Amino acid sequence: MGDSLLKCVEGRDDEIIEQCICDVARTVQKSLDIPLESIRIVVEEVSKNRFAVGDKLKSEV
Amino acid sequence: MGDSLLKCVEGRDDEIIEQCICDVARTVQKSLDIPLESIRIVVEEVSKNRFAVGDKLKSEV
Amino acid sequence: MGDSLLKCVEGRDDEIIEQCICDVARTVQKSLDIPLESIRIVVEEVSKNRFAVGDKLKSEV
Amino acid sequence: MGDSLLKCVEGRDDEIIEQCICDVARTVQKSLDIPLESIRIVVEEVSKNRFAVGDKLKSEV
Amino acid sequence: MGDSLLKCVEGRDDEIIEQCICDVARTVQKSLDIPLESIRIVVEEVSKNRFAVGDKLKSEV
Amino acid sequence: MGDSLLKCVEGRDDEIIEQCICDVARTVQKSLDIPLESIRIVVEEVSKNRFAVGDKLKSEV
């Protein structure tokens, strides 16, 4: 088991996200020394006006 | 309290998801012996190119 | 670190959600006495037919 | 894919939790019509003073 | 529905966490204009060596 | 923003987990081309009898 949930701000090309998923999977596989098949990666993209650092929305900066 | 967050791949009919929510709620109610009203079920559907087993995206298989 | 993930039913105006994010950030900042910059707030909105209390979907009530 | 994260209040016997995990897995398998092997269930137990309905901690009621 | 999952670094007194839970519940109640009873707050505390900003563990800084 | 929540089975040495956190942070930084400081990694370890693939607990296999 090496389940990773990655959240990032929306707006990237599919290829970027897809490559990131593969890269994280391989990193977890090496770091934890577990089979690739036991790893699951999910990416959730968040709207800029649904995410804030402190009280500053990402859509404002 | 018996909160369940269920993630599945997108693309199913609403009726399937809605029935699944009810089924899981009743299963948790029986297994944990808690009132139905204390149970919350949320389903999140994930795009096939935002989910991978190992480095294989669901959209590729 | 004071990361808050807030889930609510979809259908509210953006201003309501955005104000809620700011309010929660400031509340966490005061309660935990941490810098605003160390706080992250994400809001996820859930469809009424993807959320149930017990076996009653929100879309049914 | 049928990943379920179940949160409940701590204090139950292991057998109860373990049976619940199996029951939820089989329910999801039937409801979504997916192979058992594609399903993952995780249970997280929450302390009574780390969970509240409204502003009432579970440890107070 | 106004479910909030708050993660913070472990090491605070119970009273601080409990007060924070109540404060967040009331903030969400006011901001979203929903009944207190429909709100659930869970706090999860994370060890300093299980959390990093970038590649710096909280336990190192 | 590049928040990653990684869940794995408990029982690994701290150094393994800590190195994994750093490796994932750097992988996300490169893949998404974002500053390291905007990335947060949290690892949660799950007991073998709180996690199942299908209806088989990790503690049974």
Inter-chain CB proximity B2 and D6 less than 8 Å: yes
Instruction: Indicate the pairing of strand A39-46 with strand A2-9.
Output: parallel
C34 vs E4: CA distance, rounded Å: 18
What's the mean pLDDT when you consider all of chain F? Answer: 97
Q: Does the pLDDT of residue E16 top 90, yes or no?
A: yes
Q: Give the CA radius of gyration of chain E.
A: 14
Q: Could you give the 3-state DSSP secondary structure of residue D43?
A: strand
| Tens-place pLDDT, residues D10-45 | 999 999 999 999 999 999 999 999 999 999 999 999
Gyration radius of chain B over CA positions: 14
Amino acid (one-letter) located at D52: A
Percentage helix, strand, coil, to 5, in chain B? 45, 35, 20
C16 touches chain B (CB under 8 A): no
Chain D residue nearest residue A37, CA to CA: D38
pLDDT at position A61: 82
> Both tokens of residue E46?
């994370």
CB pairs under 8 A between B and D: 71
Are B3 and E3 a contacting pair at CB < 8 A? yes
> What is the model's pLDDT at position E38?
96
| pLDDT, tens digit (0-9, with 9 covering 90-100), for C9-44 | 999 999 999 999 999 999 999 999 999 999 999 999
Q: What angle, rounded to 10 degrees, do the helices at A14-32 and F14-32 form?
A: 160
F8 Cβ under 8 Å from any chain A Cβ: yes
D45 touches chain A (CB under 8 A): no
Whole-number Å distance between alpha carbons of E1 and E18: 20
Question: A8-60, pLDDT tens digit by residue?
Answer: 999 999 999 999 999 999 999 999 999 999 999 999 999 999 999 999 999 99
Query: CB atoms < 10 A from the CB of B21, how many?
Result: 24
E31 to chain C, any CB pair closer than 8 A? The answer is yes
Whether the pLDDT of residue B36 is over 90: the answer is: yes
- Looking at the partner chain, which of E22, E38, E45 has a beta carbon nearest the beta carbon of D52? E22
Task: Report H helices in B1-61.
Answer: 14-32
Distance (Å, rounded) from C-alpha B42 to C-alpha C48?
10
Full DSSP string of F3-61: EEEEEEES---HHHHHHHHHHHHHHHHHHHT--GGGEEEEEEEE-GGGEEETTEEGGG-
**Per-residue pLDDT, D61:** 82
CB contacts of E26 in chain D (<8 Å) are 55
Q: Does F10 touch chain C (CB under 8 A)?
A: no
Residue A51 sits at the chain C interface (C-beta within 8 Å) = yes
User: What integer pLDDT is reported at residue E9 of this predicted model?
Assistant: 97
CA D57 to chain centre: 19
The Cα-based distances of F45 to D18, E26, E50, F4 in angstroms read: 17, 31, 9, 14
Report CA-CA distances (Å) from B48 to B58, D2, D45.
5, 13, 30
Is B38 in the E-facing interface, judged by CB distances under 8 Å? no
- Confidence at residue C48, expressed as pLDDT on a 0 to 100 scale: 97
Nearest to B5 among D5, D12, D51 (CB): D5
CB of A51 within 8 A of CB of A57? yes
| Residue B61 pLDDT > 90 | no
pLDDT at position C61: 82
Q: How far is A7 from chain C (nearest CA, A)?
A: 10
* pLDDT for residue F61: 82
- Establish, for the pair of chains B and E, how many residue pairs have beta carbons separated by less than 8 Å: 6
Whether the ipTM is more than 0.85: the answer is yes
CA E52 – CA F43 distance, rounded (Å): 9
Q: What domains sit in chain B, N to C, each tagged with a CATH number?
A: 2-60 (3.30.429.10)
Integer Cα distance of D56 and D50 in angstroms: 11
